[in-house]
Amino acid sequence: MNSRKERIEVIFSAALELDTPEQREVYLAKIGEGGCGVVYVAEQEEPVRRRVALKVIKLGMDTNSAIARFEAERQALALMEHPNIAQVLDAGATETGRLFFVMELVRGIKITDYCDQNNLSTPQRSDLFIQVCHAIQHAHQKGIIHRDIKPSNILVTLHDGVPVPKVIDFGIAKATTQQRLTDKTLYTAFEQFLGTPAYMSPEQAELSGLDIDTRSDIYALGVLLYELLTGRTPFDAKELLAAGLDQMRRIIREQEPVRPSTRLSTMIQGELTATAKHRHAEGPKLIHLLRGDLDWIVMKALEKDRTRRYETANGLALDIERHLKQEPVDARPPSSAYRLQKFVRRNKLMVTAAAAVAATLVLGVVVSTWAVVPGRP
């Protein structure tokens, strides 16, 4: 048994193949569960002794699509080496063929909880968010689109007392055309609804043939920034789920969210006070802080038309850095013509009806005028 991979396989295989969950818990502490995998805390004994996270494919999840997606996730993580992305340490399969991979164990809490528990100010939250943007930029440069950016997939841990965000769970990641994640067939069926609704881009909700690219992650980053600033997502998660699939998709695709400062100003006093306290500020000052640059930065990331979003995660991070340095930002209020265009698209029936009425009135005026013109035939 010469290779490190073989030694790790032997360490974990015995525990993974035990008959019952209770027996496995003696060796492994379960810390998470996803669509096709379960994550445990485990002790690695060789070549170094340390605690690691072990993700193993669930029993019974042996369909081609599940295996392909599991392989794609571990390959995606293996491609990346960034301080803000959880590292893959090794991978293999048990004697009975169950796939697993060993990851860096991230001991942390989701980014929104960390910020609120420590009452981080808006600039401090922005600094953490910039690090997340850099991590996502790294993934994009490696040809990987995360597709499920949300607080529970960004954990904050402490390194020598300094908070460090770590992006985890590339379980539904998608490769760009320049990258290949698995030799097995991996595709997203037309009718599949992948992602978390409150953080999902309009093109993800479209369920059409429109290809998903890195700008879908830019939208999700915009939702995350909105939540860090206001304590709320642009669209309430419970209301989206209660609306049903078709209405949920329509809201995500068509309804414009209110600006962050507007969201704060419409909160009841007690809610605003609590939200501001978690951001080390008073309510009116927090609203004033968001109004302007931060409003437009968030709304640019949340554009329904992906061609109007930031082109890269680094571009979004740079605009926040400009704001923090009191420099002009790239994000700008949309023009009057653009706002009119959006209004027309949102209210097609009303605009069509109004146009028809206006045309009728104009025609009536023309006919009446023509009828009273002296000397008409």
Q: Which residues are known catalytic residues?
A: 148
Coil, helix or strand for 289?
A: helix
Angle at 251 between CA 233 and CA 315, to 5 degrees: 55
Nearest-angstrom CA–CA distance, 84 and 104:
11
Nearest to 148 by CA among 234, 235, 223: 223
Q: Is 38 exposed, middle or buried (0-12, 13-18, 19+ CB in 10 A)?
A: buried
User: Long-range contact list for 341-346, CB < 8 A, 24+ apart?
Assistant: 342/256, 346/254, 346/256
Plot region of 119 (φ>0 → left; ψ -120 to 50 → alpha; else → beta): left
CB 215 within 8 A of CB 311: yes
- Please provide the DSSP assignment of 342-361 as one string: HHHHHTHHHHHHHHHHHHHH
Write the CB contacts of 21 (distance below 8 Å, at least 6 apart in sequence).
Answer: 30
